[in-house]
Structure 1
Amino acid sequence: MGGYFRTFVLLAVMTSLFIAAGAAIGGRSGAMVALVVAAGMNLFAWWGSAGMVLRMHHAEPVTEADAPRLYGMVHQLAQRAGLPMPALYIIHEDQPNAFATGRGPSNAAVAVNSGLVNMMSEEQVAGVVAHELAHIKHRDTLVMSIAATLSGAIGMLAQFGGIFGSSRDRRGSPIAGLLLVIVGPIAAAFVQMAISRAREYEADREGAEICGNPEWLASALERLENYKEGAVNEAAEQNPATAHMFIINPLQNFSMQSMFRTHPATEDRVARLRAMRPTGGVMLDHAAAGPSSTPLPGKGGSPWTNPGGGAGKPRSPWG
């Protein structure tokens, strides 16, 4: 419950910032106009976010016939999480990564980069998928939409407070209003990013419980962090606003300080996961650890291949 309580407190702080900014900058009328406009924009984005984000990243749908082993893994993990089978997509990017989107469990989607299934063991992919299913289970898209609404409303008040509020509708000193114009949007951004980090920690915890073995996700996060450097995610670089959705920040040269991060430090996430007790991992079909030397895409086989599997058939996630 710690993660939920932390998110609740951060949302309460965001709401308090909005109320204070509305009173000092735009008055009651300005605050209401900003909130309605921001809510409308974010409701539209939330309602159509799944399709928009998937198109931005050129995601292609994957059926059971296309990739029976990968599809079966996702279906098995979704059942363990108590969720309906999400739509499954593949993004043809060498950078290993993944994200989940959708308004709720009944219309959710999980998208995995081709680099993820080519460079990770089956257990590690299961850990990553379980993390994304945890986001779906917690309705984190909705939580982040609420945070974005409040943050956007504060930003609007800061920019247009002078237009929204009449002089007789204002309260408080002009100096306080000026400070809120400058500090309010920055503080709101800090809180919004802190909420994002809190949701990542909670998805890690729940994801470890869904797959049953925290080490699967911990080792996956370590390898994701190591392999993302040098593998540019072109679509993410062109649409940096979607970076917070991925399990690992996909952007290159990301050197902002911890307060500005949408993701917690990977080493902190790994340490928390390794402090958890295994609850019994799911029984993956033909599960096997990846080879000691993982080939890059296009330079050899997949970690899911089985050199001794007979008949020369590859053990590929694509069937």
Structure 2
Amino acid sequence: MHKHYNGLKTAALFGALWAVLLGLGGLIGLNTRSSAPIWIMALIGVATTAYGYWNSDKIAIRSMQAYPVTEAQAPQLYQIVRELSVRANQPMPRIYLSPTMNPNAFATGRNPRNAAVCCTEGILQLLDARELRGVLGHELMHVYNRDILTSSVAAAVAGVITSVGQMLLFFGGGDRRNSNPLAMLAMALLAPFAASLIQLAITRTREYDADEDGSQLTGDPLALASA
């Protein structure tokens, strides 16, 4: 099953991401008198991740300038989302529309009880009901699979690595008598690049899971392919 292997790949990629962070911290510890900056950045990363994860639905909805709609205003959208929620045995999410013609749809929220579904006015005009159902099945599975937490943690760790790499690049290693300038420079340049690649790979594995699970939820994989 694709889901099984994607789960293993996600775990392995997270391990690689943390290995880069720990390697960066170890190098700083060996070449400087203090590794305090990396711990400070890690704490900042944890704090921002917690805020973003807890408020993921509000942040995403606000960024799209979306507004809530009633079932009378969007009957087809409500029907599709209600059907998929019942099939998944999950609570009915809140429904929003975004006043833009750019075709887009997403589901967000830290868990199914705090989920929200948002569609743009453009995608409602572009897709038929079957295609929209396929897209929303995929998006809802991101919430049901807790991908918001996965992506938030990956982004936070990658962000900490990038920030520490930039600190090394601009401020050097601190105690220059004991530091290895070439090693510090290489780590400052390569660690953020590696972290970005790993973060993208984690995101891609979760997309594969959402494709498979969403197709199972709708029972119509060709609808998502058509959309």
Q: Cα distance, 1:53 vs. partner? A: 1.9
Deviations 1:56-101 (A, max 9, x none): 2111112222222320210110111222111111112222221121
Aligned-pair CA distance for 1:140: 0.8
Counterpart contact for 1:29–1:165, Cα < 8 Å = no
Q: Choose from 90, 100, 107 the match for 1:93.
A: 100
Q: What is the aligned partner in structure 1 of residue 14 from structure 2?
A: 11
Check if 1:21 corresponds to 2:24: yes
Q: 1:76 aligns with which of 76, 79, 83?
A: 83
Which AA in structure 2 matches 1:155?
A: T
Matched, 1:34 2:41: yes
Identify which of 148, 153, 159 aligns with 2:160. Answer: 153
Superposition map of 1:165-244 within 5 A: 167=175, 173-220=180-227
Letter in structure 2 aligned against 1:44: Y
Residues paired across the two proteins, number: 219
Question: Which deviates more from structure 2 when the two are superposed, residues 121-130 or residues 43-52?
Answer: 43-52
* Paired letter, 1:92: P
Structure 1 unaligned blocks of 5 or more: 221-319
Provide structure 2 residue ranges, at least 5 long, that are not aligned to the other structure: none
Contact 1:22 1:30 in 2 (8 A): no
Residues 82 and 173 (structure 1), Cα distance of their counterparts in 2 relative to 1, 3 Å cut: farther
Aligned to 2:120: 113
Shift of 1:145: 0.7
Query: Could you say what secondary structure the match of 1:88 adopts?
Result: strand
SS at match of 1:77: helix
Amino acid across the alignment from 2:27: A
In 2, are the aligned partners of 1:7 and 1:195 still within 8 Å (CA)?
Answer: yes
More RCO (CA 8 Å, sep 6+):
2
- Deviation at residue 8 of structure 1 after TM alignment: 1.0
CA distance in 2, matches of 1:149, 1:125: 32
Q: Conserved in 2, the CA contact under 8 Å of 1:21 and 1:180?
A: yes
Q: Is the 8 A contact 1:25 1:180 kept in 2?
A: no
TM-score (norm 2): 0.88
Q: What is the CA-CA distance between 1:141 and the residue it aligns to?
A: 0.9
Aligned residue for 2:107, secondary structure, equals strand
Distance 1:39 1:78, change over 3 A: same
**Alpha-carbon distance in 2 for matches of 1:177, 1:112:** 46
2:54 counterpart letter in structure 1: W
**Percent of matched pairs sharing the same residue:** 37
Once the two structures are TM-superposed, the CA of residue 35 in structure 1 deviates from its matched residue by 0.8
1:135 aligns with 2:138: no
Q: 1:171 to 1:49 in 2, by over 3 A?
A: farther
Give the conservation status (yes or no) of the 8 Å contact 1:14–1:151. yes
CA distance in 2, matches of 1:82, 1:3: 23
* Helix, strand or coil at the partner of 1:85: coil
Give me the whole-angstrom Cα distance separating, in 2, the residues matched to 1:117 and 1:171: 62
Cα pair 2:173 2:181 within 8 Å, conserved: no
171 and 92 in structure 1: CA distance in 2 versus 1, 3 angstrom threshold: farther
* Counterparts of 2:178 and 2:116, CA distance in 1: 46
SS in 2 for 1:183: helix
- Alignment partner of 2:151 out of 114, 120, 144: 144
Match of 1:282 in 2: none
Q: For the residues of structure 2 that align with 1:119 and 1:107, how far apart are their CA atoms?
A: 28
1:23, 1:171 within 8 Å by CA — same for their partners in 2? no
